[in-house]
Amino acid sequence: MEAASFNEVDLQEQTLEVDRTDRRVELLLGALASTILLLIAGMIIFVFVKALPSFTHNGLAWFGSGGSVDDQLMNIFNSPAEPENYVYHLRAWPLLYATILITGVAVLISVVFSVLSGIFIVEFAPERLRKTIEPVVKLLAAVPSVIYGLIGILVVVPFVAEHLISEGRKESVAYVIQLDGTSILVGVFILTIMICPIMIAIIVDALRAVPDKWVEGAAALGVNRWRAMRTVSLRAIRPAIVAALVLATARALGEAIMLSMVAGSVGFAPNPLDGFTFFLEPARPLASTIVDNAEGLSVAPFGQTMYAFAAILLISSAFLSFAGWAARKSFSRYTLGAR
Amino acid sequence: MELTEDHPQDGSAPAAVVPPLRRIVVESETVPIRVGDYAGPPDPNYGRDPWQVGTGTEGEPVWVEERMRTEDLSIAYGDNRAVKDVSIEVNSGEVLALIGPSGCGKTTLLRSLNRLVELTPAAKRTGRIILDNQSVDDFDVTQLRSRVGMLFQQPNPFPMSIFDNVAYGLRERGSKKPRRKILEPVVVDALERAGLWDEVSSNLNHPALALSGGQQQRLCIARSLAVSPEVLLLDEPCSALDPISTSIIEETIVELKSEVAIVIVTHNLQQAARIADRVAFMYLGDLVEQGAAGQVFGAPREERTQDYVGGGFG
Amino acid sequence: MSIEVRTAAPGPRPSLVKDPTDPRPTPKPSAAAAAGISHDTGWSIGDKAGLIAAWVCGISLCVIAASIVLFMAWKGIQFLHLDMLTTSPQASLDQSANGGFLDPLVGTLLLTAIGIAFAVPTGVAIAVWLTEYGRPAGLARLVESGVEIVAGTPSIVLAIFGLLVFQQSFMGIFSFTAEGGAVFGRSFLTAGAMMALIALPLVIGSTREALNTIPRHVREASYALGKDKASTIRRVLLPSARNGIATGATLGMGRICGDTAIVVILLGASMQTTPESGFFGLFRGTGSTLTSYVYNNSPAGEGNAPDKAYAAAFVLLMIVILLNFVVSLIGKRKAPQWN
Ligand SMILES: Nc1ncnc2c1ncn2[C@@H]1O[C@H](COP(=O)(O)OP(=O)(O)OP(=O)(O)O)[C@@H](O)[C@H]1O
Ligand SMILES: [Mg+2]
């Protein structure tokens, strides 16, 4: 405000002219940003409007279990052409369960593994090894998921089918499901391998950015290397760990192609009571379900069901980034942006 | 002041605590040099036993005992020799001041005493460093650093609360973490000795990085004092401080010197004259001259020393 | 030069047991010792366990990373023949007769180019608006959160949203309109537009980062020379931020190359590039990319030609390596120094 009044005092024609072009540029850029914002808002609204019938017809039971989800999807796909006869009956729990299970386990394993590996790379790895592994990790973080899927389906799945699935094990669950190697075990394994590099790359960069003076300050107090790492560096990079976690979880939630290749692509809820066989049972998360059924999108009720899955994914990822934001905010109390 | 609250008092900021005015040091052009109360280096025949070097303000004897020494210590960063064949002792009971122009290797010498220089990959060391008649290489490095504390040129509080900063060394050095109740008196004592207690007593849970530069430096002093080091290396501890804080720190240093061997790097010759008993002058990595403060400032033997200290003492 | 350095004769250290005749005052115990705080400085069990865990994770990371890289290299060398890069895919179940992957390769390049051509100008404009103007603050926060939501949205959701949008009848110009007036919605343009949304957060992120590192005084110096804000942005800020923009663009290209879901849903199912008639025929036509080719030729797809899938995956990997290399080159390029 003071600046404005100061400007008024020694205004000149030229500054007026300058201000006008400036204003135009600002408006132009702002309009562009608003357009993108509208597009995003439009996306959210579109998807939800499209998804609504599936939710309203099923109510909260949509999230529950009951019957074979694949049969239900088939019925929806084959529903009569008249809108009043559309079939919407769906109990999506197996798909939700698969999403939560595969994503959750992979992310949990990855976060521990990535933090430890990041510490190893920054603090303990010999110089030569560090110089090789770092670019390789950055590369692996950028490798398309379909390549991981390819390795999974051509290498890991046959291995599992051959070495971990005996005839007896197959028969023990043959009345509900066929075991062919594609399984949540392979899904989680490949997903972990896929998201670890993403997290490690972020964690390594963050660890490297921790000011030396903090580490030296801890060392000068007679604190050993590991403790200094854990209590100063790791503490300081908690926001980065959360950011990595959010990014990796978003990737895992949205991973469609790779999981549809290696996790079995069957709408089945693996039963933990089956013991180790549990890990060898197939499943199909939401994102894979959409991709597998892309052909059916033009069938109205079926398409609406797919958009319902998309809506769930959208809500989860929005909630995820909000949770990440809140967590980072709570960590910044002592950091005060000093990095 | 209450100490135990775990919640910040953001909302209810207490009325600004006015720190007690202890002593204002007026920087005069010429500083009286304390000549005579330092008897100089010990009689070589006396061996390494403690020796009396003078009397304190109340007539009590002042004792000096060697804690550390370097023997032909050289440190090189790559090809750049930052410290060249330096042999010097660090004694408890006296304050050793390292003076010298910028870049002459004071910080490097200091960092080598607690082997912190090893964190710089390019640094190479030759020569020996002895702590209590044992080479520092024979110590577990954490053991060594817990006995030889250090304060850095730039204040470097951790991104934690004030309390956690001071308690950090106590918590993380041992295998089991002491509880806050046990830590409290030690933290308070350290903060008091660093002259910071009055300013932070009501907000121990506030972030340390929100303190001013001078307060941060005193917090770092408190952090080092909390773990009761036997040797304390101070790298320009007062360069960011106002005269009042400076005098608090100086008082602390003088109080500590009977128990802790203190080395202080300073560009402020008057400060060196005020608190140091022994002064070492370094130039381009060489230890040019060392001796009693009165001798180095009053009657330097070397021309380079004369040139350097001459300006400050007319 | 005579440096007088006193070298005291070495002698045994005096006993630590206090000599009763020693006139010195007994030092008072330290506050910490008085409070009973232990001073052992060794490594606790937890520290050692952490250290070992870090080494185990680090080494297994190296092993896994090396095996993935070596495996893909081996498969690439084994199956890739140069003529695959120059022949179009043919529909055949025989791996020796189903051609190469010229079309997917071109498709990948074309789609990346389209996506990045949309994403870079938009992303830079939004980043500039956010960092240099950002008024009204509420709108800026909204745009920021919107971009973050897009970054977290699974590409499969973007893909089916794109289909929803581009199948509207007024969007017919972007793809192909069937006899009855139904819009197909699938083309290079529509897929590229959605790909742009994937790349957008990356471009915005690294451009903002670059703009934020330019200190305030550089801007002020430019204003002092009489330049207005718009020309300061154009002449001073954007050139200084070009490394950041280039990094964002390259990262975005990596993401676009590697995405499968959008391609599978928005680029049509044909492996050959099928242009539409007319001026922008190629852009309005359908085709495939390396990712969809790999997917299609994996056991999970229709083609099932694993050798071709490996070869195409290897080529895709080479592209990703190249992009990664470009990113690191840009990173090493001398950034402007501000003093
Ligand atoms: N980490 C490092 N890597 C390489 N060279 C270094 C490093 N630290 C210091 N040096 C070099 O060592 C020499 C001595 O530096 P040092 O920091 O010890 O000087 P100083 O006496 O503390 O100076 P000041 O009074 O400015 O703090 C300088 O020439 C400096 O360039
Ligand atoms: Mg220094």
pLDDT of residue B59: 59
Q: Which residues of chain B have pLDDT under 50?
A: 1-48, 312-314
Q: Is the pLDDT score of A327 beyond 50? A: yes
Instruction: Give ligand 1 pocket residues (Cβ under 6 A).
Output: B 77, 80, 82, 102-108, 120, 122, 153
Which residues in A lie closer than 8 A to residue B224 (C-beta atoms)? 220-221
**How far does the CA of residue A213 sit from the closest CA of chain B (Å)?**
6
Average pLDDT, chain A: 88
Count Cβ atoms within 10 A of the Cβ of residue C136 and give its class: 0-12 exposed, 13-18 middle, 19 or more buried.
Answer: exposed
Q: Distance from B231 to chain A by nearest Cα, in Å? A: 12
The predicted pLDDT at position C30 comes to 62
Taking contacts as CB-CB distances below 8 angstroms, the residues of chain C near B291 are 4
One-character DSSP codes across C10-28: P-PPPPSSPPTT--SPPPP
Structure tokens of B41? Answer: 């280096």
| B172: contact with C, CB 8 A cutoff | no
A120 to chain C: which residues are within 8 Å by CB? 54-55, 57-59, 61
Q: Are A235 and A227 in contact (CB under 8 A)?
A: no
Pairing of strands B231-235, B261-265: parallel
Residues 6 or more apart from C307 whose CB is under 8 A from it?
Answer: C79, C95
Is residue A220 a contact partner of residue B149, using CB atoms and an 8 Å limit?
yes
Q: Which residues contact A14 (CB under 8 A, 6 or more apart)?
A: none
Query: Which residues have C-beta under 5 Å from ligand 2, the single-atom ion?
Result: B 107
C24-56: per-residue pLDDT in tens? Answer: 555 555 666 666 666 565 678 888 899 999 999
Q: Compare CB distances from B174 to C8, C33, C40 and report the shortest one's residue.
A: C40
Whether residue B159 and residue A214 make contact (CB cut-off 8 A), yes or no, is yes
Which of the two residues, A133 and B245, has the higher pLDDT score? A133
- Architecture per CATH, domain B21-309, reads as 3-Layer(aba) Sandwich (3.40)
pLDDT category of residue A17 using cuts at 50, 70 and 90: low
Residue holding tokens 């043919």? C90
End-to-end CA distance of chain C: 41
Question: What subunits make at least 3 CB pairs under 8 angstroms with C?
Answer: A, B
**Span from the CA of B105 to the centroid of ligand 1 (angstroms):** 6
**C228 touching chain A per CB within 8 A:** yes
pLDDT at C322: 93
The C-alpha torsion from A72 through A77 and A83 to A87, rounded to 10°, is: -10
Supply the ipTM of this predicted assembly: 0.87
User: Is residue C155 scored above 80 in pLDDT?
Assistant: yes
Distance CA A153, CA C297 (A): 12
pLDDT score, position B52: 55
User: What's the pLDDT score for residue C223?
Assistant: 83
All residues of chain C having their beta carbon less than 8 Å from the beta carbon of residue A186 are none
Residues of A within 8 A of B142 (CB-CB) are: 222-224
Q: Which residue has the higher pLDDT, C16 or C67?
A: C67
**pLDDT-based confidence at C294, cuts 50/70/90?**
very high
Question: CB A219 to CB B227 under 8 A?
Answer: no
In chain C, residues 33-52 whose CB comes closer than 8 Å to chain B: 33, 35-42, 44-47
Alpha-carbon gap, residue B137 to A122, rounded angstroms: 25
Domains and their CATH numbers in chain C: 102-332 (1.10.3720.10)
- Residue type for position C31: A
Give backbone dihedrals phi and psi of B284, rounded to 5 degrees, phi first.
Answer: 50, 40
Alpha carbons B209 and B159: distance in angstroms, whole number: 6
A14 — pLDDT class (breaks 50, 70, 90): low
Identify which of C47, C161, C324 has the shortest CB distance to residue A139. Answer: C324
Confidence (pTM)? 0.84
Identify which of A213, A222, A223 has the shortest CB distance to residue B156. A213
Chains that touch B (3 or more CB pairs under 8 A): A, C
Element containing residue C211 per DSSP (H, E) = helix C188-213
* Radius of gyration, alpha carbons of chain B: 20
- The residue whose C-alpha atom lies closest to atom 31 belonging to ligand 1 is B103
How many angstroms separate the alpha carbon of residue A215 from the centre of ligand 2? Answer: 18
Helix (H, G, I), strand (E, B) or coil at B283: strand
Smallest CA–CA distance, residue A89 to chain C, in Å, is 22
The region that residue B23 occupies, defined by phi over 0 for left and psi between -120 and 50 for alpha, beta otherwise, is beta
Nearest CA in chain C to A297: C160
Tens digit of each residue's pLDDT (9 = 90 or more) over C117-139:
999 999 999 999 999 888 888 99
User: Is residue B153 less than 8 Å (CB to CB) from chain A?
Assistant: no
Element (H, E) at B51: strand B51-55
Greatest extent of chain A over all pairs of C-alpha atoms, in Å: 91
pLDDT of residue A339 exceeding 50, the answer is no
- CB nearest to A223's CB, from B156, B169, B207: B169
Give just the sign of the alpha carbon dihedral B90, B91, B95, B96.
Answer: negative
pLDDT digits (tens, 9 = 90+) for C229-262: 888 888 888 888 988 999 999 999 999 999 999 9
**Probe site for chain B from A123, A223, A330, A335 (most B CB atoms < 10 A):** A223
Q: What is the pLDDT of residues B67-98, one digit of tens each?
A: 888 889 999 998 899 999 998 988 887 889 99
pLDDT surpasses 60 at C21? no
pLDDT in tens, A114-125: 999 999 999 899
Decide if C254 contacts C324 (C-beta within 8 A): yes
Q: How far is the CA of B93 from the centre of ligand 1 (A)?
A: 28
Give the pLDDT score at C12: 38
pLDDT digits (tens, 9 = 90+) for C84-114: 888 888 877 777 777 788 999 999 999 999 9
Q: Tokens 């185990």 sit at which residue?
A: C56
Q: Does B108 touch chain A (CB under 8 A)?
A: no
The model's pLDDT over A228-287, given as tens digits with 9 standing for 90+, comes to: 999 999 998 999 999 999 999 999 999 999 999 999 888 888 888 888 888 899 999 999
Q: Which of B49, B183, B186 sits opposite C14 (nearest CB)?
A: B49
pLDDT category of residue C170 using cuts at 50, 70 and 90: confident
The predicted pLDDT at position B32 comes to 36
What number does the ligand 1 atom closest to the CA of B111 have? 18
Q: Tell me which long-range contacts C224-230 makes (C-beta under 8 A, separation of at least 24).
A: C228/A18, C228/A19, C228/A21, C228/A22, C229/A22, C229/A25, C229/A26, C229/C132, C230/A21, C230/A22, C230/A25
Query: What pLDDT, on the 0 to 100 scale, is given for residue A105?
Result: 96
Architecture field, domain A94-338: Orthogonal Bundle (1.10)
C263 close to A (CB below 8 A): no
Q: What is the pLDDT of residue C303?
A: 80
Locate the ligand 1 atom nearest the alpha carbon of residue B78 and give its number.
4
Q: In the prediction, which pLDDT does A150 show? A: 95
CA of A220: which chain B residue's CA is closest? B145
